Every structure is written in C-alpha cells, then in structure tokens.
Amino acid sequence: MKNINAKKVGRVIPNPPLRLGRPACPAQTGGLRITRPTLGLFLFLAVLTALPFPAHAAENPPARGGRVGWARIITSSTAWRRHAESDPHLTQFIRSQTSLNIDPTWYSADPDSIEQLTSYPLLYTNNLTDVVRPSHQQNLQEYLRRGGFILVDACINPGITPNPDAFLQQHIALMKIIAPGAEVRELPKDHDVYRQYFTVADTPPHTYMNDVFDRRWSHHGLYGVFESNGRMISLITLSGLQCSWSSHPERAAATECMKMIVNIYVYAMTR
C-alpha cells in the first residue's frame, strides 16, 4: 500500500457545503479559509489515509479524513460547466481508488468571492482566460498566494479550443497577471506528478476528438506554473483530461486520464 507523505501537507478546507453545482457558503464551512500557514491537522486527516484499498474491504471501509470538494471556476463563458454533469464519475473514481474523503457531488466557485475560492484546495477550469474582470483576477492571485492550486485543462473540442498552441500562449500571458514573477515550464517526463499516487504509462495521457490522433495536441505535455521558491501553484494541460470522465468507461484512455487527475489532486494537496 502506498503512503502519502503528509509532511508537506499545506492546504485544505474540510466540509465544503453540500450543494450540487452551487458556490461555497461561508456559514456552512464554519468560516474556515485557506491560509499559507496551513490547517495542517485537517490536511493530515484528509490525505494521510488516501491509500488504495481492496474491494472486499467494503464491509469495513477505512476511516476517511476531512471532507474536500471538487469545484469549477465560474467564468464569463457558458463552457465553464462543460461536462460538469459527469464530474461525479471522477469523484466516485477518486473515492473508489483512494480513501480520500472527496464529496461525490461537484461545486462551483465564483471568482468574485475570495471566500468561495478559498473553500477548495484545488480549483478546476477548462479555460482560465475566460476570467476577464481585473477584480476576479486579483482574487485568483490572492487564492494562489494563500496556497491554492488551479488546474487548467483544455477541452479537445475545436468549437471550444480551436488552437491548442494559442490556448497555451494565452494562459502563459495570463499567468503573468495573476501570478507575477511565476514561470511556466513543461514538466519533465520523470516529474513526481506522473507517479504521485498512480504511475501513469503515458506522460501525460491524452484524449482526442472522436478518438482520432491529432499531433497538434499530442506533442504537448503538462505545463507547471512555478513560484520563485519552486512551489508549483498551477498546472496547464492540453490533454483533454475532462473528456475522459465524461465518457468513462467507453473511451480507451479514460481510466489513465482519471488516474492523472488523482495524481494532480494529491500533488496539489501535499505540496
């Protein structure tokens, strides 16, 4: 059984509100917020027990730690919630493969509210450049400063992301605004995120539109956004990871893509 190194645990807000697709409610989270000094005990409980367990253990499931949630950033585009109805496929996969106490529902986080943003250790979006208001960008900057992590995963549908190279460049430019001084660089194939929990065969795995290989997408790896102190605060993927759980288990790469998400989530919570 793999053990997660809890020594570097640095962020999580236990017990997010139980409202499907709705923003966090400060009253329901007891006023708890992400801070860089860290809520170490809650994180210790949340991720120390994130170990694989066999199916026959269902009669006596392992104790789960503090509740965490999966949340999408609300943007100016209607595509912000694309495939959101399938997000429970991902959260159920996480629950079945680990003992992480992730809520099986999904949530939304409004960038107009720093309280909502900081209710989650990781925030997901398929296009962060759709957050256009300066005040919202400032809140995202504050969220990252407090220790949050943003996962940007481009949708492979050309109607949503017509040019993956342009998508990457646009996000590199945006990161200069919301993470001043940070550096965006492609992760090496032996980076820890590829084996943080699962060891993934493809570094990274990809999905493709209609499962047709496309070199415009395949040549991209994962791109980390690093602060000057070396901490990775965001990850940009052009892998279409989200498209895997929207079609699981029909799509061949679906399981590998969801394993990649698990690795990213655990990495974000333990660094």
Read off the pLDDT of residues 103-120 as tens digits, 9 standing for 90 and up. 999 999 999 999 999 999
Read off the pLDDT of residues 155-197 as tens digits, 9 standing for 90 and up. 888 889 999 999 999 999 999 999 999 999 999 999 999 999 9
More confident residue, 186 or 20: 186
Q: State both tokens at 218.
A: 């395949």
Q: Is the pLDDT of residue 133 over 80?
A: yes
Beta-strand relationship, 183-186 and 68-73: unpaired
DSSP 3-state of 4:
coil
Q: Is the pLDDT of residue 36 over 60?
A: no
Q: Is the pLDDT of residue 22 over 70?
A: no
pLDDT at position 12 is: 37
Residue percentage of the chain with pLDDT more than 90: 52
Q: With beta carbons less than 8 A apart as the criterion, state whether 22 and 69 touch.
A: no
| pLDDT band, residue 247 (cuts 50/70/90) | low
Q: Which residue has the tokens 């820890």?
A: 192
Q: Cα–Cα–Cα angle for 174, 179, 183, nearest 5°?
A: 85
**CA-wise closest residue to 11 among 175, 122, 108:** 122
